[in-house]
Amino acid sequence: MATIEPRTLQDGTKRYRVRVRLQGELPRTKTFKRLTDAKAWAAKVESDLGHGTYVPTALERRRTLRELIGKYRDEYLPTRQIRDEAKQRSLLAWWDENYGHMTLDRLKPEAIAEARRRLQTRSNRDGEPLAGATVNRYLAALSAVCKWAWKELRWLPSNPVLDVSKAPESEGIVRFLSDAERTALLKTCRQSSDSNINLAVLLALATGARYSNIRYLKWSDIDLTSGRLRFVETKNRQPRYVPLIAPAKEALRAHRKADPTKEGWVFKGAHDNAPADLDKPWRKVRASAGLTDFRFHDLRHTTASYLTMNGASLAEVAEALGHRTLVMAKRYSHQTGEHVRATLERMSEHLIEAPAKAPGKRRDWVR
């Protein structure tokens, strides 16, 4: 519904202020010198809104993506207690630096698609193009901001990122440690001057947990009496309890004994408000062990692959690693065919029997 309010300025001239309201939409306002222009604009806006055509307001033409990102970082992120908040801020910093000048009325799917193409031409620290999954994390970071602006601030009429296709993601090669590589890695971890990394690698291999779950462990999450630990905030947003095998339990006991506080973060950092960064010591022990093509996340792959090679079912692998479906666990079923071969051979003893020969008759086989 449109309302037109005549207004008289101090010099005596008249103006006509139009206000268009439609349920579910932000009000649109504009001022005109002539009443006919005001009526024409009101009719057009009502028609456009009725047909779903977006008409930017004056505020949306002035507000920038930088202003929105800054508001999101200052007001929204601190209330969410996101464990990867530093990573989220890093992703948003790229959007701020490269597209912060853009006004919100120009934040269209086509502009975001162009940003996606630009990201796909970037290189990582190893000089290789960004992986599709990394590009999609940049899109997800912006999507979270736009969703907040749309649903809570009403700064946007919708989330434009939802109309942009994601970058294709490769299934990639599931890398896991051989026995010799595992021995070399554990040896360099024990020799490291940083005791945190030795425990972190042991826990990763013993539990199949992700880097963030391990890094953010607190002593209150660990029960050494019952021999289990708890991951409070997981990727699936559900707490997960994991049993501890003997080597991991003993390593935790030794680490706790050396901790003067015996509370707070298991991996103590320079400040109390954040745990230690394990990335730098990890890179050192990885290089010392000669594993240049191996990531910390591949320790998780190693655990899953060892489970399948020792006869664990896909359901058991999924439960051990906290997968909600069997799709991810299935990635590890092809790492070795030996346990499958053994199962099939045992089955063949009962299922496939040699054909019996009829007395006095010759059996001809069909080729």
CA atoms within 13 A on the CB side of 35: 8
366: confidence class by pLDDT, cuts 50, 70, 90: very low
CATH number of 157's domain? 1.10.150
Per DSSP, what are the bridge partners of residue 190?
A: none
Instruction: Find the mean pLDDT for residues 312-329.
Output: 61
Sheet holding 228-231, edge to edge: 222-223, 228-231, 240-243
Q: Are residues 298 and 324 located together in one domain of the fold? A: yes
Quick check: is 240 in a domain? yes
Q: Do 77 and 218 fall within a single domain?
A: no
- CB half-sphere exposure, 203, CA atoms < 13 A: 30
216/308 same-domain check? yes
Q: Which domain holds residue 7?
A: 2-55
**DSSP helix/strand/coil, 19:** strand
305 and 202 part of one domain: yes
Residue 347 has pLDDT above 50, yes or no: no
Same domain, 326 and 191: yes
The residues with which 103 forms a beta bridge, in sequence order, are 64
Residue bearing the bigger pLDDT, 269 or 172:
269
Whether 239 and 158 share a structural domain: no
Asked if the structure places residue 329 within a domain, the reply is: yes
Do 134 and 112 share a structural domain? yes
If one compares 172 and 354, the residue with the highest pLDDT of the two is: 172
Q: How far apart are CA 46 and CA 55, in angstroms?
A: 10
Tell me if 365 is assigned to some domain: no
Mean pLDDT of the chain: 80
How many domains, the chain? Answer: 3
Same domain assignment for residues 206 and 338 = yes
Is residue 204 assigned to a domain?
yes
Q: Among 8-17, 164-173, 184-193, 357-366, which range has the highest average pLDDT? A: 184-193
Residue with structure tokens 């630096």? 97
What pairs with residue 4 in β-bridges?
Answer: 18
- The answer on pLDDT for 112 being more than 60 is yes
Among 26-40, 69-83, 96-110, 308-322, which stretch is predicted with the lowest mean pLDDT?
308-322
From CA 265, how far away is CA 256, in angstroms rounded? 11
Mean pLDDT of 335-361: 50
Give the CATH number, domain containing residue 199.
Answer: 1.10.443.10
Would you say the pTM of this structure is higher than 0.75?
no
Among 6-15, 50-59, 148-157, which is the least confidently predicted range? 50-59
**pLDDT beyond 90 at 12:** no
Q: What angle do CA 187, 192, 195 make, to 5 degrees?
A: 110
Residues 325, 326, 331, 336: what is their CA dihedral angle, to the nearest 10 degrees?
150
d(CA 31, CA 8): 12
CA 112 centroid distance within chain? 19
**Same-domain pairing of 153 and 282:** no
Last residue of a domain, one of 163, 195, 218: 163
Q: Give yes or no: residues 230 and 327 share one domain.
A: yes
